[in-house]
Amino acid sequence: MASDSTVDKILTGKYPAKQHAENVVRRLREACPDLTDGVIYLESQKSRLYENSDQEVPFRQRRYFYYLSGCDLVDSYLTYSIRDQKLTLFIPPIDPASVLWSGLPLSTSEALEKYDVDEVLPTTATAPLTVSHSSLAFVIESQTSHTFPLQNAESLEPAIERARVIKDEYEIALIKKANLISALAHHACLRAIKSVGNEREIAAIFMKECIANGAPKQAYSGIFGSGRSASILHYVHNNQPLSGKLNLLLDAGAECNNYASDITRTFPICGQFTKESREVYDIVLDMQKQCLAASKAGAVWDDVHILAHKVAIQGLLKIGILKDGSVDEILANRTSTAFLPHGLGHYLGMDTHDCGGDPNYEDPDPMFKYLRKRGPLPASAVITVEPGIYFCEFIINPYLEDEKHAKYIDNDVLDKYWDVGGVRIEDNILITEGGCENLTNVVKEVDDMLNLING
């Protein structure tokens, strides 16, 4: 079992729902300074069936509801009185017919003991519309099945998203736990890679280790891309044979009580890197190390992203893929986006690509178009650091056909690297005032990886 005594001790407590409610109210007051009264109203995910079927859709709790409740129950809702600072949870009553099929649900008394709320009532005890007609109800319109006499449907969602950026001790412990479990799974895959023949076998090993160690859900659909498929950023097939391929890019992470991990490693399938693969791997590892060193509270993420490109350009000039230009010249020309087309990282929390990063997907600058976090990093945020270099013909060929970029790329040298596919190294870090804490403990130094692969 994945275990850390400090993490486990923190997680013996309750998820801090009331503190989160207070965090959200503070954010609401940034937009409404005179706010003293009102009610926050949120609904959980509804019971859903597949179309033309009596089979339930796999349950995934609404993240806004969970942030203010810590409750993973379906068909529930909550109210939070801003004036009284009272958090009330409403859960489905016991239905004898459902007990026959699904067993006893949580009772109201058990829920009160389990969750950090002031009161728990059955959903049949009172209707949401009992919210005072004189109270302003803060709602998320797309996730609300009721209309209130006075309601604000604009302020709550952004307030929760801003609050979610700053992680408390409990949330950090959940992300650490998810990382601990994911580390076991990543290491199991490294040990097994020489004995399997297909991407799907590695995917199965990863998920088996997560489930066996208490994480039955994945934070996202894992990426298990071999050979040239490693150049596909969000590769989905995970079913190709490994024979004849150089490397495997494994991007997968467990989820712990709705909090994600997001970890990527790239390693040689046969147990040894080729010359070209090792060169690219060393560049990406240097990119990540320099970006980790630059990550701290107040650092502008756009600048750290630029740093990744500068290190990539230096490395690609050294091995000859890039030519005839300085680092600054090639950077200004944006030619490096042919090899690193995505952003350096994103916030991590209840969602893998977590909220609050203020991206600008309409940015005309290809350097920043896909950067999911813009601006300075705050302390206690969790973000991924995932530089990469990719050899994807569909991305690079248009650059080769454009003289603006082609003059900086040596096609003959590039031809030696297509089979490398892509290399990405991704860790999850907690931003602190003086730097960052790396929450990911998966080997990435070449000798350490090869020792696991080769036994």
Tokens standing for 339? 């090899």
pLDDT band at 125 (very low <50, low <70, confident <90, very high): confident
pLDDT band at 255 (very low <50, low <70, confident <90, very high): very high
Residue 416 buriedness (CB in 10 A; 0-12 / 13-18 / 19+): middle
Number of H helices, E strands in the chain: 15, 16
Tens digit of each residue's pLDDT (9 = 90 or more) over 159-171? 999 999 999 999 9
Distance between CA atoms of 248 and 265, rounded to whole angstroms?
8
Give the three-state DSSP class for 414.
helix
State the DSSP H helix or E strand holding residue 192, giving kind and residue range, or none if neither.
helix 169-192
Tokens standing for 291? 């970006």
Q: Which superfamily does 169-454 belong to?
A: Creatinase/methionine aminopeptidase superfamily (3.90.230.10)
Tokens standing for 428? 């999850």
Position 300, amino acid: V
Give me the pLDDT at residue 127, please: 60
Tens digit of each residue's pLDDT (9 = 90 or more) over 410-441? 999 999 999 999 999 999 999 999 999 999 99
Q: Are 139 and 353 in contact (CB under 8 A)?
A: no
pLDDT for 79 beyond 70: yes
pLDDT for 6 beyond 70: yes
Residue 435: partners with Cβ closer than 8 Å, 6 or more residues away: 293, 295, 296
Give me the pLDDT at residue 1, please: 60
Residue 362: partners with Cβ closer than 8 Å, 6 or more residues away: 369
Answer yes or no: same fold for 17-165 and 169-454: no
Distance between CA atoms of 449 and 454, rounded to whole angstroms?
9
pLDDT band at 132 (very low <50, low <70, confident <90, very high): low
Tokens standing for 342? 């995505």
pLDDT for 405 beyond 60: yes
pLDDT band at 129 (very low <50, low <70, confident <90, very high): low
Q: Are 400 and 254 in contact (CB under 8 A)?
A: no
| Mean pLDDT, rounded, for 238-264 | 99
State the DSSP H helix or E strand holding residue 64, giving kind and residue range, or none if neither.
helix 63-67
How high is the mean pLDDT of the chain?
96
Give me the pLDDT at residue 131, please: 56
Give me the pLDDT at residue 3, please: 73
Looking at the DSSP assignment, which residues form a beta bridge with residue 79? 41, 88
Percent of the chain exceeding pLDDT 70 equals: 98
Tens digit of each residue's pLDDT (9 = 90 or more) over 325-363? 999 999 999 999 999 999 999 999 999 999 999 999 999
DSSP assignment, residue 49? B
| Mean pLDDT, rounded, for 389-397 | 98
pLDDT band at 43 (very low <50, low <70, confident <90, very high): very high
Q: Are 247 and 420 in contact (CB under 8 A)?
A: yes
Give me the pLDDT at residue 98, please: 84
Domain coordinates in residue numbering, the chain: 17-165, 169-454
Cα 255 to its chain centre, rounded Å, is 10
Tens digit of each residue's pLDDT (9 = 90 or more) over 278-319? 999 999 999 999 999 999 999 999 999 999 999 999 999 999
Give me the pLDDT at residue 409, please: 99
* Closest to 322 measured CA to CA, from 120, 331, 379: 331
Give me the pLDDT at residue 130, please: 58
What is the dotted CATH code of the domain comprising 17-165?
3.40.350.10
pLDDT band at 128 (very low <50, low <70, confident <90, very high): low
Opening angle at CA 331, ends 345 and 232, nearest 5: 45
| Mean pLDDT, rounded, for 177-196 | 99
- The dihedral of CA 132, 133, 138, 141: what is its sign? positive
Q: Is the entire prediction scored with pTM above 0.85? A: yes
| Mean pLDDT, rounded, for 432-455 | 98
Percent of the chain exceeding pLDDT 90 equals: 92
Distance between CA atoms of 406 and 402, rounded to whole angstroms?
6
